[in-house]
Structure 1
């Protein structure tokens, strides 16, 4: 039997911190140590984890496998890439099954970031809640993004038992989301009472049914510079201002931009859009579900090079919002993408509780200034 082919599929790698709300687990680990963490996960191995920031995106992406003519030949493959060990990872896989997600492949690398396996598995997008892992993966040239905040899961866009909302969370530098409240019990107290700490454990399930859920649309939004394209134009803007930026882009309006870190994912997504076009040709009643949008601070005349570049890449974009510095949140709250990629936290933080937001820590806007000579060195956690 030949090996399972990954080279002709859209492959996404997702950390458990992106797929599920692990805020309480993370706090147990941080405050009580590895042994308490193991005991906690073992105690609640069969208690389904709440959906995390990327859950609905992954769920809807996997639903596109019904476009494949053969059930055993999916268009989309999702790998769990986790720093848990195989034992503590049992709860993750149990929750995957309990939520009905068709994910069967996982890599558990105890305490070691798994991004080295991204090229080996033909992964076109890696999502994690760990800022350090994502930054390193991006530096190595991998397509990676850090999920932020606690965007409402199932915000009128999901049906069935996974239509839930995650608790509000704050993000500590370098850490996965940490729940603000309620306070964490000790593992011993939780075991004594038999009550799981809110945040990891599921609560009452509410079902929501909307036209959007019935259609199963997947809305994906991207910033352009520093996400799909490299940061060369952004560097001109940062150093020379808006007028020089427009002059630079206008002079190169037919010159294709160099690829940015998340372009591999858009290219893979475009193959599914082409499959949907084939389905429409076969069945005029079929309504395409994948909708791709560009939400960028560019405006005329710099829009022209962006559009020409997208065309030269051969990718399909349904909507483009050239906002010229206007607040992106105004558009995103109407568009309601299931995931939005941007390279600047200033564009993401205001909407991270409403829109599943992903920081791409790439380029000039994410360069970290060296510490002052007398400043103490910072040691990354974990």
Structure 2
């Protein structure tokens, strides 16, 4: 029987986001590909250090303990690597060393694998390679550039916290275009006028939908076992404030989606909020916001829409 991905939350992860490849990349840049291959061969049994996205991926995969059958997981994570299969062995050995239940991978030396995302039902691709991410987003695919960020991972903390900006991330960039053309007053007037009209989806709307499915499964588990405490918490952290907040709330409701917390900051710097919230991943479409948040939490740039035009 074929393995069906259609009902699962599928995330693609580059080895550059899952593991710290600083040392390996330095060998490649300074000594060339043959030396890099020899280095990976020599260190094949040495587990790579954890990367920025490791805590997020580990917690995401841990939710498979909610599956009704071990062979029917809720979450699937697939490695998408620019390594060739031989040098990629170290990546898979590292996966095994950390007991991550990742068994599927694509190795394409020197090439991005984002065009295979629809075939694999992926609702998110994470990579530390900015060019790969930009190409994926330009092709209409949901991807994020994992920035060099703080990445604390408390093994005693089972909660998975995910934070999203709204415009250009969960929603499209139509309102951002109004803001850039007409300023803050024009933006607010436009949002009030269109408060009852839901936004078109942005690149990560379907990823949030997949997270919400898992949250509903957690609610079922809590009803069956009152001692079970839900582990997934989703926050909206946006520069919107009243009255523009209403359209964001209504859009989520119209899409059948939800967040647990909402921070409508009205231009207040997001850094202090993210430092307090401590998400395991924060997604924003503007690098200017992420420069401050990266010092306290894993931060991901979604290079979508007008805010990233010409960047």
TM surpasses 0.5: yes
Residue matched to 2:95: 96
Residue matched to 1:24: 23
Distance in 2 (CA, whole Å) between partners of 1:325 and 1:153 is 27
2:223 to 281, 299, 312: 281
Structure with higher helix content: 2
> 5+ residue gaps in structure 2?
none
Q: Secondary structure at the match of 1:106?
A: strand
Shift of 1:315: 1.2
Shift of 1:313: 0.9
Q: Is the 8 A contact 1:273 1:316 kept in 2?
A: no
Shift of 1:95: 0.3
Shift of 1:316: 2.2
Q: Is the 8 A contact 1:14 1:80 kept in 2?
A: yes
Q: Is the 8 A contact 1:149 1:349 kept in 2?
A: no
Q: CA RMSD in A?
A: 0.9
Provide, for residues 36-62 of structure 1, a one-character-per-residue CA deviation record: whole Å limited to 9, x for no partner. Answer: 110110110000101101000000000
Q: Secondary structure at the match of 1:120?
A: helix
Distance in 2 (CA, whole Å) between partners of 1:23 and 1:139 is 27
Q: Is the 8 A contact 1:41 1:91 kept in 2?
A: yes
Q: Is the 8 A contact 2:270 2:293 kept in 1?
A: no
Shift of 1:350: 1.5
Shift of 1:153: 3.3
Distance in 2 (CA, whole Å) between partners of 1:98 and 1:153 is 19
5 Å-filtered alignment, 1:1-382, equals: 2-154=1-153, 157=154, 159=155, 209=156, 213=157, 216-368=158-310
Q: Secondary structure at the match of 2:307?
A: helix
Q: TM-score, normalised by structure 2?
A: 0.98
Equivalenced residue count is 311
Shift of 1:353: 3.0
4+ long deviations beyond 2 Å: none
Q: Is the 8 A contact 1:51 1:153 kept in 2?
A: no
Distance in 2 (CA, whole Å) between partners of 1:53 and 1:353 is 12
> 5+ residue gaps in structure 1?
160-208, 370-382
- Structure label with greater radius of gyration: 1
